[in-house]
Structures are given as C-alpha cells and as structure tokens.
Amino acid sequence: MNFDLADLRAFVALAELESFRAAAEALHLSQPALSRRIEKLEGALGVRLFDRTTRSVNLTAVGRDFARKARDLLDELENTLLGIRDVAAKRTGEVTVACVPSAVHYFLPGVVKQYHERYPKIRVRVVDEDANAVLSTVIRGEADFGLNFIGTQEPEIEFEPVLKEPFVAACRRDHPVARKRKISWAELSEHEYMTVSKSSGNRLLIDLALTDIPARPRWFYEVRHVSTLVGLVEAGLGVAAVPRLAMPGSDHPALVSVPLVEPTITRTMGLIRRRGRSLSPAAQQLYDLLLASRPRYTSRAAAAA
C-alpha cells in the first residue's frame, strides 16, 4: 500500500485531537500538509476515515476501528525499537582509535562520552601517536580507524576530510609577536624559533610550503612532539609554528596564537581507515559519530582561526 509511517502518525494524532489545527501543531506540520497525509492514507486504504465539516472532524465507523489498530501498531513498533536499543546497550566489545595528540583533545571527548552513553559495555582504546605512527597503526590493522592529517596519498587508506585548520604562531602574551594581528614567516625568522623534528608530519608540511621562501625561520630548539613545543613556548624559550588545534583557548593566561601568513599553511584533519575493509559494528558506530560531528568542529575551527 502506498502510505508510510508518517501518514499513520498523522492519522492517529488527528483521531486523538479531533482538530486539524491541534494535530498539525503537535506534528510540527502545516494544516495543508496534514490534510495531504490524511487524503493519501484514505486513498491507499480506499475508505473514508473522517467525516469533516467546517466546524468539526470525526472518525467514521471504519476510522474508529482503524484508529485502535493503528495505535496498537505504533505502540508495538515503539516497544520493538526500545528493545533494539536495550540490545545495543548490552553489546560488548572493544574499539581502537589511533589519533594524533592535537586531535584527541578537540575531537574525541564529547563523541566518546556520547558513544559510552549508548554502548556502556564497549571499551574504547585511544592510541595517541604522531602522524606517521597513526598511519602505520591503521595500515597494520592495529587500530580500527584513525584521526590524522596524512594518508591521502596512501593507496591502502581511505581518507574522509573532517576539518581544515591553519598553522599559527605560538608565543607568550608578553612576547613582541603577541602584539601583532598577523605575522609573516619572514618576520617570524627574526625571533628565536622552535620546531618539531623532520620525522614529524607537521614539519614536512611546513618545509614543503616554505621551499621557495628565502627568509624562512632557522630553528634554535627542535623537539619531537607539538605538545612539547607548546610547553617550551609557555616557558618563554621562543616562538613556534603549530596547528591551531594544538593551542589552548583564547582565555589561556600565558599563551596566544597569531595568524601566520605569506604563505598561509593549512593541514586537513580526517578519518582514515583501511581501503576495502569493513569496520566492526562497534567501530562503525564510533566512526559515524565522529563523522556526524564534522560541521560543529569545522565551524568552531573557522571561528577560532
């Protein structure tokens, strides 16, 4: 028959409220839209379900009988759905996510909390490593999927973009750079500059983007991890170029981010998984939740930049 669940819900609402206006408001529909649903249902069943006048709407004898059956059907459907949710809540298992540290703080907590509320018996393991290690972990199958900014060129990897973020100049609030609204890479070279090592994916992105820039910064301190770099900046050892997500919020008492230009360098964070491999149901649920959070994070990052 040519009707759907929404038509059935419209019929039950009108049968209970006996008013097109009240039923339309309850369903968040316009009255013409509600009328079309009722007409569609009556056409599919081949019977008249309501007697309508300018002042009232009443169920026909057939409509009264069908209303009881429709309510029972909707109640049974709701109980079935609740049963499925109960089964999901009792599901057990384990999901492993490989993730670069700068993404752990901003992407995972809210989504993992939501996931745990839905599936309290599923354990989530987070492998927080540098970009190359995250990529290798996913390729080797040691993680179900990952959050990373490299992997788009790997034939074994499917890369789903989530967020594009710029690199910024990180400095203390009492540093001269903090007074600038933006700073070029050439200007940054005039200050004591710190960076991550060449084994870092972030360093690779920066070096490639600055290939043709003659006045590029020369480092005084080199570390392996961006988090260590931010710590050295906070200690007052100099300035650094870091991804925007690696920096704390604007209310931090000591640190500040200044947009880096000429050139503007960005990186694209994305979900990575092995190409052609299906995720387990538990992993797929978490993957989908992270993907569904994409617009919110994108908007926040854009505002922060």
**Cβ contacts of residue 18 below 8 Å, gap of 6+?**
56, 57, 58
| Residue that the structure tokens 């990897």 belong to | 157
What pLDDT, on the 0 to 100 scale, is given for residue 233?
Answer: 95
Sequence-ordered strand ranges (E) for 77-119: 93-99
> Taking a C-beta distance cutoff of 8 angstroms, is the pair 12, 71 a contact?
yes
* For residues 243-268, average pLDDT: 91
What pLDDT, on the 0 to 100 scale, is given for residue 301?
Answer: 41
> Taking a C-beta distance cutoff of 8 angstroms, is the pair 10, 34 a contact?
yes
What pLDDT, on the 0 to 100 scale, is given for residue 297?
Answer: 43
Q: Mind listing the domains of the chain with CATH numbers? A: 5-89 (1.10.10.10), 93-161+271-304 (3.40.190.10), 163-267 (3.40.190.290)
> Taking a C-beta distance cutoff of 8 angstroms, is the pair 230, 240 a contact?
yes
**Cα distance between residue 186 and residue 201, in whole Å:** 22
List own/partner pairs for 48-52 with CB under 8 A and 24 or more apart: 49/11, 49/15, 50/14
What pLDDT, on the 0 to 100 scale, is given for residue 296?
Answer: 47
pLDDT in tens, 158-205: 999 988 889 999 999 999 999 999 999 999 999 999 999 988 888 988
pLDDT in tens, 29-54: 999 999 999 999 999 999 999 998 87
**Cα distance between residue 204 and residue 233, in whole Å:** 21
Residue 2 clears pLDDT 50, i.e. is over it: yes
**Cα distance between residue 57 and residue 60, in whole Å:** 10
| Residue that the structure tokens 């300035």 belong to | 239
| Residue that the structure tokens 């149901």 belong to | 281
Q: Is 153 helix (H, G, I), strand (E, B) or coil?
A: coil
* For residues 257-281, average pLDDT: 92
Residue 79 clears pLDDT 60, i.e. is over it: yes
pLDDT class for 104, splitting at 50, 70, 90? confident
- Adjacent-strand bridge partners of 170: 240, 257
More confident residue, 259 or 109: 259
> Taking a C-beta distance cutoff of 8 angstroms, is the pair 239, 233 a contact?
yes
Both tokens of 141, joined, read 């199958």
